[in-house]
Homo-oligomer: A and B are copies of this chain.
């Protein structure tokens, strides 16, 4: 463990936590002489890892941090990260698994693993999933803010596919509330008779939900008896993907909607 570097990172973390700090404060928090802190800050500042807040004169994080973060985000490929995980999930559950993403105000299927089963249900990558009657769609909607939801659903057509389809905004809203509470969404023959789907949310580095993974299968194979176990497995998989895209571990569910 390299002392100076270790201390520098500690400094960054403390600054991040308190937004801005002075040399003396930092030196007390770290129990390090302020001359040392001052010199570490000099080097950090030379690389724009911290900057001096004109106004308070204290140190805040520098924009280099943002640029590093951008680069990391750009290199994060959810599909690549999720692939081995949903592959494994599909094997364990014996069902097709889709990875869906919220983009352009729609929920798209962005990747898929087909079940090994002879008669497998499958979506098409690129397909848009409806908000009101797909588990993956509802799952993502459940984590939007009320205002966003209102905007999304303004003018949305609640096409009825089966007798179980939710066809009005109010019902959907309270349904979404429930999904967020329980942490998973079910589509029980809401789009096609005989088909049942389950989906769970994937949390990103800021605890927002922009992805979901879902399974779909013939109603009789996705049985109530197995459901609990399946959901647990799915949640484990989702947690792994979440971690892979930077979700702080253990914080799932404490999510601000957006």
Which residues on A are within 8 Å of B, measured CB to CB?
Answer: 1-2, 4-6, 8-9, 12-13, 16-17, 19-20, 39-40, 42-44, 46-47, 49, 60-61, 63-73, 75, 104-105, 147-148, 151, 155, 205-206, 246, 248
Tell me the smallest distance from the CB of A218 to a CB of chain B, in Å: 35
Q: Is the CB of A75 within 8 A of B40?
A: no
Considering the complex, give the chain B residue whose CB is closest to the CB of A205: B66
Q: Is the interface of A mostly helix, strand, loop or mixed?
A: helix
Q: Counting chain B CB atoms within 10 Å of each CB, which of A1, A5, A19 scores highest?
A: A5
Q: Which 4 A-B pairs have the closest CB atoms?
A: A69-B69, A63-B246, A16-B71, A61-B72
Q: How far is the CA of A66 from the CA of B6 in the complex (A)?
A: 18
Tell me the smallest distance from the CB of A186 to a CB of chain B, in Å: 29
Considering the complex, give the chain B residue whose CB is closest to the CB of A80: B55
- Chain B residues with CB under 8 A of A2: 4, 8, 39-40, 42-43
Q: How far is the CA of A124 from the CA of B248 in the complex (A)?
A: 40
- Identical chains bound together, number: 2
27 A/B residue pairs, CB under 8 Å, sorted by A? A2-B40, A2-B43, A5-B40, A5-B43, A5-B44, A6-B43, A6-B46, A6-B47, A8-B8, A9-B43, A9-B44, A16-B68, A16-B72, A17-B71, A60-B72, A61-B68, A61-B69, A61-B71, A63-B246, A63-B248, A65-B68, A65-B72, A66-B72, A66-B73, A67-B246, A67-B248, A68-B69
Q: How far is the CA of A155 from the CA of B65 in the complex (A)?
A: 40
- Chain B residues with CB under 8 A of A8: 2, 5, 8
- Chain B residues with CB under 8 A of A71: 16-17, 19, 61
Tell me the smallest distance from the CB of A48 to a CB of chain B, in Å: 9
- Chain B residues with CB under 8 A of A67: 16, 205, 246, 248
- Chain B residues with CB under 8 A of A75: 19-20, 60-61
Tell me the smallest distance from the CB of A119 to a CB of chain B, in Å: 33
Name A4's contact: one of B5, B19, B20, B49 (CB within 8 Å): B5
A70-B104 contact, Cβ under 8 Å, with A2-B43, A49-B9, A65-B65: no
A104-B147 contact, Cβ under 8 Å, with A5-B43, A70-B205, A246-B66: yes
- Chain B residues with CB under 8 A of A20: 75
- Chain B residues with CB under 8 A of A43: 1-2, 5-6, 9
